[in-house]
Amino acid sequence: MAKARHAALLAVLTVIPLATLGCSSGGSGSSEDPSLFNAPKLYAEAADPKGDGRAQCRNVSVGYVGTVNGVNAALGQNIVRGADLAVKLHNQANADCQITLKQFETEGKPEKTAAAVNQVVADSSVLGVVGTSFSGEAKVAGGLFNQAKLVQITPSATNPSLADNGWDTFFRALASDAAQGPAAAKLMTVKLESQRICVVSDDSPYGTDLGKAVIDALGDKAVCTAKVKQGQTEFGSVVSKMETEKPDTIFYSGYYPEAGPLANQLDAAGLQVKFVGPDGIKNEEYLQAAGKAAARSFFTCPCVPETNFKDFTTAYQKLEGQEPGTYAVEAYDAMTILIAGIDKGIVDRQGLLDFVKTYTGQGLTKRFKWAEKGELIETPVWGYKVENGKIVNYGQIS
């Protein structure tokens, strides 16, 4: 972003300059294979939700549709707080354009998504939406948003098929699982040197399709598979199968409420194998539930390490009251794009949809430009590992 925008942000934060990138400790592993695991770049021209401070608007809202209180609430809370941070920074800098962020709860459940989407569609003040949180919700929401010509940018729903429904209003702010699956296989076979990998998938659209993508990419190194259900707490049959198959690595395709107890029960049975999971388990709650097994855990995520952006992290801590988590910065970038359209004087849904369709610009996480079907041109995937009880950057995979 321009120097003037840096100055505006620093006036609020009074912290480390944006040009200072704290990735020396977070990039562990990069020295071993710098061609595979590079430190993230910091882009001086990244869009700033503050804009030039001269925006004018009235009675304008943006929406968040997703979970805040459901079973997988932690991921949704990260997203809504990232979006909220962008709105707060904008409103602080633009007295004549106060944008309202409205939240519409789904509890992460597809069966509750239609009601939430119908609420936001009926609110004519809402010009654009960040969400939904999960792929199951997105399958329900996409057609309803499309009918209403209400643009949505999801910072976290990764199921590849979402882009194949002919929805003009659907945009993804990250790589899909068509990229994450091969990246996970690369992490396990190249970096972790795994030879025998078992893939365990839950029964969600996300877990099922990502699991298949990982199996396809692994080829003959995928020596076994297993299925679990969302809400399952006892995994004796899976543990027994792993004892028989003796993998050196297990990939879990699903979410953290099941992944944590599974990893813990595997460890209790003496199966001290590497446990790898995707963005759906990259969460502090997984670490707590996994117990000792967390120390052998690795993750993939089409999300940039949020703590590498010091001014973003400090602003998040100050205005949201805690550390940023998975997808907070992607949500911030997505909301910043919607705000940029509003700051240009757009006052209707069709106008904001057209703005996003043709948008090209640098965010904190990546360069944003969409191809057909709402998929990004640039789709990085990152690796993470647990070190000293914390999830830390393990470098870019693809």
C-alpha closest to that of 256 among 206, 194, 216: 206
Strands 367-369 and 382-387, bridge-based pairing: unpaired
pTM, whole model, 2 decimals? 0.87
Please, are residues 61 and 127 in contact by the beta-carbon 8 Å criterion?
Answer: yes
Mean pLDDT of 24-34: 35
User: Is 310's pLDDT higher than 50?
Assistant: yes
Q: Which two tokens stand for residue 8?
A: 């505006």
Looking at residue 309, its pLDDT comes to 84
Q: How confident is the model at residue 40 (pLDDT cuts 50, 70, 90)?
A: low
Count how many residues are written for the chain.
398
Which residues are CB-contacts of 372 (< 8 A; sequence separation ≥ 6)?
none
Radius of gyration of the chain (CA): 20
| Least confident among 16-20, 217-221, 347-351, 362-366 | 16-20
C-alpha closest to that of 316 among 77, 132, 65: 77
Task: Tell me the β-bridge partners of 395.
Answer: 383
Q: What's 4's DSSP letter?
A: H
The SS3 assignment for 93 reads helix
Mean pLDDT of 219-236: 97
Q: What's 39's DSSP letter?
A: P
Please, are residues 229 and 260 in contact by the beta-carbon 8 Å criterion?
Answer: no
Task: Tell me the β-bridge partners of 367.
Answer: 362
Pairwise CA distance, residues 38 & 106, whole Å: 37
Q: How confident is the model at residue 305 (pLDDT cuts 50, 70, 90)?
A: confident
